[in-house]
Amino acid sequence: MARSALFVFQFLVFVTIFETHWSSVSGIYCKDMASTVYRPHSVTLTEFGAVGDGKTLNTKSFQNAIFYLNSFADKGGAQLFVPAGRWLTGGFNLISHLTLSLDKDAVIIGSPDSSDWPLMDPLPSYGRGRELPGKRHQSLIFGWNLTDVIITGANGTIDGQGLVWWDWFHNHKLNYTRPHLIELMYSTNVVISNLTFKNSPFWNIHPVYCSQVLVEHVTILAPLDSPNTDGINPDSSTNVCINHCYVRNGGDVISIKSGWDQYGISFARPSSNVSISNITGETRGGAGIAIGSEMSGGISEVRAEGVHIVNSLHGIRVKTAPGRGGYVTNVYVADVSMHNVSMAIRITGNYGEHPNNNYDRNALPVISNITIENVVGASVGVAGILEGIEGDNFSSICISNVSLSVQSRHPWSCSLIEGYSNSVTPESCEQLSSNSGQTPVCYSGVSFSPSQVHAHPHRNSVGGLVDFVLHLASNIM
């Protein structure tokens, strides 16, 4: 492709993504959630003796402030305001009916001393710590059995100072699984918004066994080579909405999960109704949108639209393995742009990684009804590697209106999968039979009555131009 055409193409891809309005889809499952709630009572962290010098350990101040605010839980709730300053702390627990609000110049800093991060039991759906058997470190900000929690700020920062943890990880010095920045368990009505998360020791935002979770206007940053610093990981959770986020990290940008092998199968808590829109991500070692590899409780009704992935290893990825059991079904990913991505679409049936050797080798995952459409990509290494499991074909894998400028001479590689493709450039593999017109077996992204979902975002006239340039580009190439 001529350099100028490539430039115009990239510019239009950018314009399309940023000129599209996601309002109609962004809130499907969270439309009744308020991102701000009036709290009749508010305190400031400094009222509890905190010192924002970046050196004084303020764990007790956070704990005391939240303990005090507990008495307002049944009086409309309360707010803990964190003013400008650098607030070093160990882990602390939230309560229901609480707003944790950061000033724009407030930075909550995780202690570099592992003993400031208490230990807790492994998740029942994982059976052990994700990295090491046994207990795990509790997240910096943690909650259990909560409702009506808002964690927000005018783009204030939560910095995990993960470097020490990454070194312990690389040098095999960890005694227990690394902590996340925020984990909420068994909670409902949770909003996490308008914050920057930096340098998480492990994953950044982990709602597990939750429902009604809204994450929006969040920036997540960690070095591209930091180990497993996943951005947002909804896990065994339902009605989750993730909108307008920017993530640049060393793990998956967003990864939807639901427990691990025999533990996830017996805990049987699925993730469903997950809506994702307007996400920009860059990850050296992970994927933009990932599902799994822990998916043993089942994952369904996932919609991701308006996804922009740059300089990354994978674009869209499903990870599973024999032993996982569970299912991934009714997944719809659309309006994706990629630039400089090694593998645009990947489905992996042999991901491996088991909690121990007692997993059931006959527990095969059911992977079906995955639709990926309206994808453009430039500087893509390989278009797709789609691999099912022997004796367990992955079915109704549908790919349509995909146009990728691919470097490899073997753009697609498929095995043990079945499905359809339509308007895919370069031409997809023979396992996805070509199909013109509507394909009823392909999941369309709508599982509910049309009155519940206004399926398609408005598009402006730039879309037509992109089609034209794409057409032009494919003729030049």
What does the binding site for ligand NAG look like in residue numbers (CB under 6 A)?
18, 21-22, 29, 35-36, 114, 144-145, 152, 155, 168, 173-175, 186, 193-194, 196, 217, 219, 238-239, 244-246, 272-273, 278, 280, 284, 311-312, 329-330, 335, 340, 368-369, 374, 376, 393, 396, 401, 415-418, 431, 441, 443, 448, 452, 463, 466-467
Q: 259 — alpha (psi -120 to 50), left (phi > 0) or beta?
A: left
Structure tokens at 302: 């996932």
The smaller minimum CB distance to ligand NAG, of residues 264 and 359, is found at 264
- Shortest CB 462 distance to ligand NAG, Å: 8
Cα separation, 317 vs 289, in Å, equals 6
- Shortest CB 323 distance to ligand NAG, Å: 20
**Beta bridge pairs of residue 334:** 305, 373
Residue by residue, DSSP assigns 239-293 as: EEEEEEEEEEESS-SEEEB---HHHHHHH---EEEEEEEEEEEEESSSEEEEE-S
H helices present in 208-362, as ranges:
261-267
**Cβ neighbours of residue 399 closer than 8 Å, sequence gap 6 or more:** 345, 371, 372, 373, 384, 419, 420, 421, 422, 424, 428, 432
For residue 221, the SS3 value is strand
Cα separation, 50 vs 36, in Å, equals 25
Cα separation, 245 vs 146, in Å, equals 24
- Shortest CB 202 distance to ligand NAG, Å: 13
Which has the closest alpha carbon to 89: 55, 122, 47, 121?
A: 55
- Shortest CB 46 distance to ligand NAG, Å: 22
- Shortest CB 49 distance to ligand NAG, Å: 26
- Shortest CB 291 distance to ligand NAG, Å: 15
The smaller minimum CB distance to ligand NAG, of residues 321 and 429, is found at 429
Helix (H) or strand (E) holding 67: helix 59-69
The smaller minimum CB distance to ligand NAG, of residues 61 and 138, is found at 138
DSSP code of 262?
Answer: H
**Cβ neighbours of residue 176 closer than 8 Å, sequence gap 6 or more:** 119, 129, 132, 134, 135, 136, 137
The smaller minimum CB distance to ligand NAG, of residues 310 and 363, is found at 310
Cα separation, 76 vs 24, in Å, equals 30
Residue by residue, DSSP assigns 311-329 as: EEEEEEEEE--TT--SEEE
The smaller minimum CB distance to ligand NAG, of residues 159 and 359, is found at 159
The smaller minimum CB distance to ligand NAG, of residues 88 and 150, is found at 150
Helix (H) or strand (E) holding 403: strand 394-406
- Shortest CB 445 distance to ligand NAG, Å: 9
- Shortest CB 383 distance to ligand NAG, Å: 15
Angle at Cα 38 formed by Cα 24 and Cα 81, nearest 5°?
110
The smaller minimum CB distance to ligand NAG, of residues 145 and 407, is found at 145
The smaller minimum CB distance to ligand NAG, of residues 88 and 279, is found at 279
The smaller minimum CB distance to ligand NAG, of residues 255 and 273, is found at 273
Q: Which amino acid is at 395?
A: S
| Cβ atoms < 10 Å from Cβ of 68 | 15
Cα separation, 444 vs 371, in Å, equals 7
The smaller minimum CB distance to ligand NAG, of residues 199 and 262, is found at 199
The smaller minimum CB distance to ligand NAG, of residues 61 and 273, is found at 273
- Shortest CB 60 distance to ligand NAG, Å: 20
DSSP code of 74?
Answer: G
- Shortest CB 196 distance to ligand NAG, Å: 4
- Shortest CB 53 distance to ligand NAG, Å: 21
For residue 189, the SS3 value is strand
Cα separation, 105 vs 197, in Å, equals 13
